Amino acid sequence: MVNYDEFGPQKILEVYNPRVGMRGFVVIDSLALGPAKGGIRMTPTVTREEVARLARAMTWKNALADLPFGGGKSGIIANPKEITKEKKFEIIKAFSKAIKSICPEEYIAAPDMNMAEEEVKAFVEANGEHHSATGKPTTMCLKPGKHCGIPHEFGSTGFGVFHAGRVAAEHMNLDIQGATIAIEGFGNVGEFAAKYFTEAGAKLVAVSDSRGVLYNEEGIDFEKMKETKHKEKTVTNYKPGKVLPSKEIIGIKVDILVTAAIPDLIKMSDINKIKAELIVEGSNIPMTAEIEEKLYKKGILIVPDFVANAGGVISSYAEHLGQTPEEMFKLVEKKITKNTQVILNHAKEKKIKPRDAGMEIAIERVRSKCKVCKIPEN
């Protein structure tokens, strides 16, 4: 069941094309700050309720990133593993045509689960509006060399995670140079976070993927690890190092732990296992707010997900403006740096955890612009 409150959702669309077998949802949570911005996920189990929760998260993420976007999200019910590539693209095109009336004035799409730059290209072409989505291929331009796509594969999220971690380390007087770091997940987010942290002088000692953890207290060479992962499809084949079960990444003694893969990574039973001084949430919902509260009381600083991993949506904004990839990276650094500083300072001043500080700021930004924020009577 979708929960409604003073902020939204303002509009929910359910679309269906029986000929193609396409069924999907769009949830426009808030238009207070601008058109709703959020990705399309394609899974066999996606629901309106799931999409509504994700759309609300985008409302706060966009507000906290200080972007002129509201919160939105969409989902297509399909299993890409059980259909042909041609069928997948047929479904995407049907979905795009079905929601054409709200793009881009009320909703701007982006890639999410099982959607990448080629899928976004198909969506935009079917929609007929260049600005209907971001995360397009670099070759897809409104005019020759102008307003070209900036795919998320450029690593904007991991780049932002690094800058959030850098600011947080400075906040707690932790020197990045020589600080030990563990990265949970070595995909698009984790790989780029590892790249920028090690370039800044941090010592990478542990990396995980679904096959396990590769741990080496003497340090892991990033370029060699990248080559190993890309060639052999797992970090555990890196040499030298000790291979541990995937879950043990959270208990390794390091200065900084970056989460960059699965949700609900840290359970309530794991609280006493955490030895990191700083956790940067590059993944979405790596733990509950209650667990964050307990770790906060233990003196562990946590940069919450909607602050740390906003690099992707900031990249989307840069693409929407028609910026180049170089301009995009500058914008991500500027906004992530400023937003992390504001939230950590607010948290310190009010003696609350950073997530609560971020929510206070985000809610105030949305409420101040909201013309329809009134709690429904029923």
Q: Which residues are catalytic?
A: 73
CA gap 152, 158 in Å, rounded: 10
Number of neighbours of residue 253 by Cβ within 10 angstroms: 13
Structure tokens at 219: 């340090």
From the list 348, 346, 321, the residue with the least C-alpha distance to 332 is 321
CA gap 114, 43 in Å, rounded: 7
The residues with which 36 forms a beta bridge, in sequence order, are 70, 107
From the list 57, 249, 62, 278, the residue with the least C-alpha distance to 161 is 278
Q: Which residues lie closer than 8 Å to 321 by C-beta, 6 or more apart?
A: none
Quick one: 82 exposed, middle or buried, by C-beta within 10 A (0-12, 13-18, 19+)?
exposed
Structure tokens at 220: 């892991």
Q: Which residues lie closer than 8 Å to 72 by C-beta, 6 or more apart?
A: 26, 27, 28, 29, 35, 36, 37, 38, 55, 58, 107, 108
Maximum separation of any 2 CA atoms in the chain, in Å: 63
**Which 3 state secondary structure label does DSSP give 110?**
coil
Structure tokens at 100: 């054409």
Cα first-last separation, the chain: 14
